[in-house]
Amino acid sequence: MDILGLIQSNLLTPIVLFFIFGIIAARIKSDLKIPDAISEFLPIYLLAAIGLHGGIEMRNTGFEKMLVPMLAAIGLSLLFTLNHYQILRRLGKFNLFDSYALASTYGAVGAVTFSVGLSFLKNQGVTSEGFLAAVLAILEPVAFILAIFLTNMAVSKQMKTKKESLGEISESEIGMGITETKTNLKQVLHESITGKAIVILLGSIIIGYMIGEEGFESISIVFDELFTGAIVIFLIEMGIIAGQRLDDIKKVGVFLIAFSIIMPTFNGIIGVLVATAIGLSLGGAVMFGLLLASASFIAAPAVLRHAIPQAKPSLYITSALGITFPYNIIVLLPIMFMVSSIVHNEGSIDLLNYILKGLI
């Protein structure tokens, strides 16, 4: 199947269609809405299901194989976050705060995107490595921590320079400022690590690991069989919210629109190639790519509003949810699947290594 055929067949899955439906419902100003309680519960449910599934798989395959992909993912995530920052700040002329906020939004991962990816693979009859759920959990805070740390550094430096030049305040006050920044950083770190997404995901992985296939049986109907239907319901609401944000896209500007499409494509394909190089399966490489391609639109605001309040959420939420998410699940997922199929079937790993060396 060629790439257009794959995109088209992906378009015709309930998940994608109901997402598009949600967008349309919002555009025609329908009052359709999934009640808040349901749309707050569904991500928790999805993460629990992903975690249990991953944990059970890890029990079968062991931890060792996880190490390299984990480190690779962390490395790439940090690298990409820095890269995003440079692009946004220098080429996009965004201010310091918006640049770091956007950089980490795209450096972080989207759990909903991950769910859709799993369903996509299921649909293609392809499996992926269970430990990728753990990579998802670990990757979630990494980009934020980096961005917050760098923002705080930059702000402290600015403050110091400014105050010194004013000559108005004593050393001790600067010290206080830095301490405050550190406290703030520590607090944000705590918040981002105890955030519900990570907690339920890690918890479920561990529980999945402990109970195994057998223990899972009694709850598999809820946490496995209902999975795709639950995503469908959640994506109606995501579509509605994305649709409501479409008006804001104008405010986002052409540069950020282009960034929201090109950057994930780049990150995702690099991800697929690296994953293939380090030995992940066809499906695993797609999910690995998706982790890097995805942007965070649920966890991001919660963390960034406290950590970098100066940044405009209308920028990072709109681009992540309104542009990148639809693009990822409709277009990029099939593209990455194609790329992964090619590099997995044609022994092109050598070629890839070659490309990668050129890149780094």
Partner 1 sequence: MKLYNVKLLTVTCEILAQKNVIDILAKHHISGYTTYEVEGNGARGLRGQGLKNEKNVKVEVIMQEDKLQDVIEEIARTLFTNFAIVLYVGDVGVLRTEKFV
Interface residue list for a second copy (CB under 8 A) = 12-14, 17-18, 21, 24-25, 28-38, 40-41, 44-45, 119, 122-123, 190, 194-196, 199-200, 203, 207, 210-211, 215-216, 218-219, 221-223, 225-226, 228-230, 232-233
Least distance in angstroms from the C-beta of 242 to partner 1:
9
Neighbours of 302 (CB within 10 A): 15
Least distance in angstroms from the C-beta of 186 to Na ion:
24
Amino acid sitting at position 197: A
Q: Compose the 223-252 pattern: x for residues touching partner 1 by CB under 8 A, - for all others.
A: -----------------xx--xx-------
**Strand ranges for 205-330 from DSSP E:** none
Give the separation between CA 356 and CA 265, rounded to whole angstroms. Answer: 16
Handedness of CA 54, 58, 61, 67 (dihedral sign): positive
User: What is the DSSP code string of 65-90?
Assistant: GGHHHHHHHHHHHHHHHHHHHHIIII
Provide CB contacts within 8 A for 155, sequence distance 6+: 96, 181
Give the separation between CA 223 and CA 21, rounded to whole angstroms. Answer: 25
Give the separation between CA 188 and CA 302, rounded to whole angstroms. Answer: 10
104 versus 128: smaller Cβ distance to partner 1: 104
Provide CB contacts within 8 A for 86, sequence distance 6+: none
Site size toward partner 1 (CB under 8 A) is 17
49 versus 108: smaller Cβ distance to a second copy: 49
Residues that bind Na ion (CB under 5 A): 294
Q: Compose the 275-314 pattern: x for residues touching partner 1 by CB under 8 A, - for all others.
A: ----------------------xx--xx--xx--xx----
φ/ψ of 95, rounded to 5, equals -75, 170
Identify what 241 binds: a second copy, Na ion, partner 1, none; CB under 5 to 8 Å per kind: partner 1
Identify what 24 binds: Na ion, partner 1, a second copy, none; CB under 5 to 8 Å per kind: a second copy
Residues 40-59 that bind partner 1 (CB under 8 A): 40
Q: Compose the 84-123 pattern: x for residues touching partner 1 by CB under 8 A, - for all others.
A: ----------------------------------------
Least distance in angstroms from the C-beta of 113 to a second copy:
18
163 versus 191: smaller Cβ distance to a second copy: 191
Identify what 181 binds: Na ion, partner 1, a second copy, none; CB under 5 to 8 Å per kind: none
Residues making up the chain, counted from first to last: 360
CA 96, distance to chain mean position in Å, is 22
Q: Quickly tell me which residue has 């600067």 as its tokens.
A: 174
Least distance in angstroms from the C-beta of 205 to a second copy:
11
Amino acid sitting at position 345: N
How many Cα atoms are found within 13 Å in the side-chain-facing hemisphere of 356? Answer: 18
Binding site for partner 1 (CB under 8 A): 33, 36, 39-40, 240-241, 244-245, 297-298, 301-302, 305-306, 309-310, 317
